[in-house]
Amino acid sequence: MNKHALDPDWVETQLHDARWHTSSLSSGGTNCVQIAFLDRGIVALRDSKNPDKAPHLFTDAEYDAFIGGIERGELRRP
């Protein structure tokens, strides 16, 4: 899946209908990252403080690698 070749109208519809998930550890969902699992194996990630800003889009494989890096501690600040 080439996420850069997605039809913009399809993306807009998917984001409009998306069910956004917020970590249960967040403080009321106002200062965190939110994700939505879209069709075609696309994951959208956005900042809850700026929900109208375009989210980052990942393929399932990219998202899995991102989460794996977090779990392994690879993305910690030095």
Q: What is the pTM of this model?
A: 0.83
Where do the structural domains in the chain lie, given as residue ranges? 7-71
pLDDT tier for residue 27 given thresholds of 50, 70 and 90? low
Average pLDDT over every residue of 21-50: 85
- H helix runs in the chain, sequence order: 8-16, 60-71
Q: So what's the pLDDT on residue 31?
A: 73
Local structure of 5: helix, strand or coil: helix
Local structure of 27: helix, strand or coil: coil
Distance, CA of 11 to CA of 36 (rounded, Å):
12
